[in-house]
């Protein structure tokens, strides 16, 4: 499918209606579990349910969902126009003073108190994000809502985001395309320095976005102290710095006999993709060549067996089998992939002890890798969609041995 074909497909969707349907689906699940209402603060969750990302979360964005009826989006008055233009939730309430806006309260928690009363959610069973809000926030919610029971719905929300629809997958196709562009530029500049390879990749991704995809946002989700306006990133590490896992690129020049690992990340309308490649700089020691070849073999094992209905633990076993055969059984990774979507690292984890079974529409990375402290790593990573009879690989950088 070409980029223009993907863009044409996306035009066929009613974006706001898709987000409204997520709320309806959430309400059905709430009814099944006996939850009368949910209050969400986590940026990825509020975006998932409302379609609104202010980018900077210096003031909280809150989505309140009753088991029945319309959801409410609460934002600071500063975000009034932005939320009205982008949010799928029609009932938008404001807090805090800004210009001539008309807030329902001066602060977010006083506004939540009013909303909970309006939605008749007081004294009920309410869901909260235990993996995100602080203890003081929890206590405030408990006091405001007078809940008979507070239920942690963190896992519930993670699993709700787990299966992507075709609209979301099309956005992931576009973000994957940008990582492909970035990786091509990084590989072309890999011997210059970590910094130059990273800069070349980010410039290439930005230029491609500006020329071909500028109607889409490339922002991610910030926090109370900063925003992520542009989420087109690359960091390239080399030699002993590769095992750090994630490190700011330096002016270090890759040396003969070691590896360099550029990592490209991109987001389109909130949906993130990942593309990683391990590059051999000239001839590397035989031991690490064996590890590199085992990595390639493990990836092929995973690609061939992944489909809906397959146990994650079996996928893990297939991915690491070549490492064990090559004598690296003491170096096995804790996981060989992770979920992607509104976060770069999200549920599920493709780990040995997982009890999960792959489902159609899951989007995960495939990256069975080894880490050798003080030397480097062997890891390629691709973004893939689980389908009924196999997988769709969204990233498409070179798969073979990469030597520069």
Whether residue 140 has pLDDT greater than 90 = yes
Structure confidence by residue, pLDDT tens digits, 40-89? 999 999 999 999 999 999 999 999 999 999 999 999 999 999 999 999 99
Establish if 401 belongs to a structural domain.
no
User: Nearest 5°: phi and psi at 341?
Assistant: 165, -115
Establish if 400 belongs to a structural domain.
no
Strands 125-128 and 149-152: parallel
Whether residues 244 and 125 fall in one domain? no
For residue 3, what are its two tokens? 């980029």
Whether residue 204 has pLDDT greater than 90 = yes
Structure confidence by residue, pLDDT tens digits, 302-315? 999 999 999 999 99
**CATH code at 78?**
3.40.350.10
Please identify which residue in the block is written with the tokens 């070179």.
398
Q: Compute CA 16 distance to the chain's CA centroid, rounded to the nearest angstrom.
A: 21
Q: Which range of residues forms the domain containing residue 296? A: 166-393
Residues 185 and 245: their CA atoms lie apart, in Å, by 21
Whether residues 171 and 308 fall in one domain? yes
**CATH code at 255?**
3.90.230.10
Q: What does the pLDDT read at residue 1?
A: 86
Establish if 402 belongs to a structural domain.
no
Beta carbons within 8 Å of 222's beta carbon, 6+ residues apart: 43, 55, 56, 57, 228
Structure confidence by residue, pLDDT tens digits, 326-374? 999 999 999 999 999 999 999 999 999 999 999 999 999 999 999 999 9
* Number of independent structural domains in the chain: 2
Look up the pTM and report it: 0.96
Residues 115 and 132: their CA atoms lie apart, in Å, by 21
Residues 399 and 404: their CA atoms lie apart, in Å, by 14
Contact 7, 211 (CB under 8 A): no
Of the pLDDT bands very low, low, confident and very high (cuts 50, 70, 90), residue 205 is: very high
Establish if 302 belongs to a structural domain.
yes
Q: Compute CA 293 distance to the chain's CA centroid, rounded to the nearest angstrom.
A: 29
Residues 374 and 231: their CA atoms lie apart, in Å, by 30
Establish if 351 belongs to a structural domain.
yes
């Amino acid at each position: 499918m070409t980029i223009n074909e993907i863009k044409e497909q996306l035009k066929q969707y009613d974006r706001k209606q898709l987000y409204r349907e997520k709320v309806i689906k959430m309400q059905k699940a709430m009814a099944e579990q006996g939850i009368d209402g949910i209050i969400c603060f986590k940026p990825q969750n509020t975006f998932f349910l409302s379609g609104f990302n202010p980018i900077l979360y210096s003031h909280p964005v809150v989505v309140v969902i009753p088991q029945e009826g319309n959801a409410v989006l609460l934002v600071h008055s500063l975000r009034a126009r932005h939320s009205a233009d982008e949010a799928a939730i029609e009932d938008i309430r404001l807090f805090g003073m800004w210009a001539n806006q008309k807030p329902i309260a001066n602060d977010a928690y006083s506004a939540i108190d009013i909303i909970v009363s309006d939605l008749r959610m007081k004294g009920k069973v309410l869901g909260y994000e235990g993996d995100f809000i602080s203890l003081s926030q929890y206590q405030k919610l408990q006091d405001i809502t007078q809940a008979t029971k507070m239920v942690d719905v963190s896992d519930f929300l993670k699993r709700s985001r787990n299966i992507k629809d075709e609209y979301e997958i099309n956005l992931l196709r576009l973000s994957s395309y940008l990582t492909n562009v970035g990786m091509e530029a990084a590989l072309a500049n890999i011997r210059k320095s970590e910094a130059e390879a990273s800069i070349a990749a980010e410039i290439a991704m930005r230029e491609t976005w500006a020329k071909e995809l500028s109607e889409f946002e490339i922002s991610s989700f910030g926090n109370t102290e900063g925003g992520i306006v542009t989420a087109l990133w690359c960091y390239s590490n080399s030699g002993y710095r590769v095992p750090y896992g994630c490190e700011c690129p330096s002016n270090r020049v890759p040396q003969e006999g070691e590896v360099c690992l550029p990592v490209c990340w991109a987001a389109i309308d909130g949906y993130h993709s990942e593309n990683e490649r391990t590059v051999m700089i000239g001839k590397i020691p035989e031991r690490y060549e064996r590890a590199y070849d085992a990595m390639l073999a493990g990836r092929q094992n995973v690609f061939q067996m992944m489909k809906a209905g397959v146990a994650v633990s079996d996928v893990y076993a297939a991915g690491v089998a070549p490492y064990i055969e090559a004598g690296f059984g003491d170096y096995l990774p804790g996981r060989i992939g992770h979920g992607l979507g509104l976060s770069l690292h999200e549920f599920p984890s493709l780990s040995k002890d997982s009890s999960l079974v792959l489902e159609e529409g899951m989007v995960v990375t495939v990256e069975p890798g080894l880490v050798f402290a003080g030397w480097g790593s062997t890891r390629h990573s691709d973004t893939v969609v689980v389908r009924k009879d196999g997988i769709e690989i969204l990233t498409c950088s070179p798969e073979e041995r990469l030597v520069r």
